[in-house]
Amino acid sequence: MKIPVVIYANESLLQKMISDRTIEQAVNVSTLPGVLKQVVVLPDGHQGYGFPVGGVAGMDIDEGVISPGSVGYDINCGVRLIRTNLTEKEIRPKLVDLVDHLFNSIPSGLNPKEGCVKLNTTQLDEVLVQGVKWLETNGYASKDDLDVCEENGHIVNADPDKVSELARSRGAPQVGSLGSGNHFLEIQRVQEIHDEQAAKVMGIFPGQITILIHCGSRGLGHQVCTDYLKICEASHQKYGIELPDRQLACAPNTSEEGIAYKQAMNAAMNFAWSNRQMITHYTRKSFESILNQSESDLEMNLVYDVAHNIAKVEKHKIDGKEKSIVVHRKGATRAFPAGSIDIPKKYQKIGQPIFIPGSMGSASWILLGHKNSLNLSFGSTAHGAGRLMSRTQSHKQYNYKQILEEIQEKGIVLKSMTRYGVVEEAPEVYKDVDTIANISHDLKMATKVAKLVPIGVIKG
């Protein structure tokens, strides 16, 4: 180990991390070339591919490495929240119709035939370079949407030529599709407010209807990771890199392979933001259609869009000195405080909004970035509840009918492509999201603003 591993958890969460390879994987990361200060395991941490999900590591920009597995397969998987001026009483009579309309408008599942928009080669290149700016130009986004999206929905130094033809062919028909696994669209109700000032700035009020969207870069991002894992693994001898785990395949930040991966990763990040924005566009259209009101009348404004599964150059204090480093966040989300130049002007005085989604049937949280996160976790906090059991284990322990009855008893309308997906995403297979939010709040990594509970759920 070149640096320590720091774990933020309670005793119960720690025991779960010990029972799988979470801590072993974090220790492996601490041996990589150029790793700085500490490797962080957040309270939602669990075993991942090489690098623990819920993990953060900073790498020296000159001496360090970039690692595709430490970013993850679903590059820029992320979460965005849309507010409305509606209450549950206003939409409950039309909730079934609304969920049906959303389900039919937004393709979901592992391999939908196409997304809401099928891009030709030129259009795909433009999306990979411009991100949400392309959607604004083409009428699928507003300037307000860009203003409250991490990186304004567009990261520079993206090169479509570094994205393989297979990745491009997988992504071209998928812009505007939800995907499968733990991805979802939820209609939610604001149950609790914990920070009235921050909630007011975000336009959040008690009893309000909001929409939470969780998805990423789909087949394109998955293929980018697959391609560059192979490229990086083949380059180890060339650069004299010794790895404790081949899943941590990496390349020097400044190498040809490392630069190419970052350019392809950035393209996948732009794709993911565009995917969530296209889903947002059709979500708004569904609400307009079912409620017979315009998007502006419903005040369906984007609160924020936050990314996880990324690596970005940021400035952080290392040994008391500010230094540009490459921060890998895998299953971790940025938690920048008030005054940060990297968050929207709208939130400069309060800090960056953060969303911690639960599983269907459980709550989600809005949090607020805090200055303590900069020292504790490279300006990061948890991205979700984190799995307690594998998908295989969930099928052994639960069945579709059992979960559906539990969901319906809570008054939640559920639509899913498959029964299989419902079972593997049962609320009980995840850690308690309230516990995750409380640990973040108590440590002042990111503090609690509001608690949201689902009333309508769409799963892939």
Which of the residues are catalytic? 383
Render the burial of 372-403: b for 16+ CB within 10 Å, e for the rest. bbbebbbbbbbbbbbbebeeeebbeebebeeb
Beta bridge partners of 332: 382
Q: Which residues are annotated as a binding site?
A: 74, 182-186, 214, 308-309, 357-360, 364, 383-386, 459
Q: Which residues are annotated as a binding site for GMP?
A: 182-186, 308-309, 357-360, 364, 383-386, 459
Beta bridge partners of 457: 186, 414
Q: Say which residues have a Cβ less than 8 Å from residue 327's Cβ, sequence separation at least 6.
A: 56, 57, 58, 59, 311, 312, 313, 314, 316, 378, 379, 380
Q: Say which residues have a Cβ less than 8 Å from residue 379's Cβ, sequence separation at least 6.
A: 314, 316, 327, 334, 335, 336, 337, 369, 373
Could you give the CA distance from residue 270 to residue 156 in angstroms, rounded to a whole number? Answer: 9
Q: Which residues are annotated as a binding site for Mn(2+)?
A: 74, 183, 214, 308
Judge whether 434 and 386 are in contact, CB under 8 Å. Answer: no
Beta pairing, strands 446-459 & 413-416: parallel
236-241: Cβ within 8 A, 24+ apart: 241/33, 241/65
Backbone φ, ψ for residue 35 (5° rounding)? -70, 140
H helices present in 72-157, as ranges: 88-91, 95-105, 121-130, 132-137, 143-147
Grouping H, G, I as helix, E, B as strand and the rest as coil, residue 287 is: helix
Could you give the CA distance from residue 129 to residue 412 in angstroms, rounded to a whole number? Answer: 39
